[in-house]
Amino acid sequence: MLAIGGDHAAFSFKEEIKEYLDEKGIAYKDFGCHSPESTHYPIYGEKVARAVASGEYDRGILICGTGVGISLAANKVKGIRAVVCTDCYTAALSKRHNNTNILALGARVVGIDLAKMIIDTWLEAEFEGGRHQKRVDMIMAIEEKNS
Ligand code: RB5
């Protein structure tokens, strides 16, 4: 199941993405925000990241104005590999090589149709493992040095 979230800058964009996920029959939970009222992207970055890191949700999509702030917040949660994507190549390789578990998008950066293509690409791509697993393990080992 997919966890989705975003701040006020992404509210209407997130509604469109939810409609798209509905059309595709992809189940999700919306962790907010639930109105265009000004709020703070770290709240939703952390909520979705914790939902994914706990294993309750297997992947997440986060949206803010640029995708930057919300991905930075998500990446502070242990076990999260969030990537901001503005193109399909990065979306595919971030899954195939880096095993990203959260996709971040900028509602003020990418058009809605490109965002849908990026989402399709990211959801369909699969982690290749092998030599990439060792490198992902090395990234995750950095978290252990912090605790
Ligand atoms: C909100 O104005 C904006 O700063 C936020 O959505 C995001 O772009 C931050 O990275």
Give the pLDDT of the chain (147 residues) as one tens digit per residue: 999 999 999 999 999 999 999 999 999 999 999 999 999 999 999 999 999 999 999 999 999 999 999 999 999 999 999 999 999 999 999 999 999 999 999 999 999 999 999 999 999 999 999 999 999 999 999 999 986
Question: What are 30's strand-pairing partners?
Answer: 4
Question: What are 59's strand-pairing partners?
Answer: 2
Q: Which fold has domain 2-145?
A: Ribose 5-phosphate Isomerase B; Chain: A, (3.40.1400)
**Kind of pairing between the strands at 102-106 and 82-84:** parallel
Q: Which atom of ligand 1 is nearest to the CA of 7?
A: 6
Check: CB of residue 121 under 8 Å from CB of residue 96.
no
- Distance from residue 11's CA to the centre of ligand 1 (Å): 12
Question: What are 2's strand-pairing partners?
Answer: 28, 59
User: Does the active-site annotation cover 34?
Assistant: no
- Distance from residue 72's CA to the centre of ligand 1 (Å): 11
- pTM greater than 0.95: yes
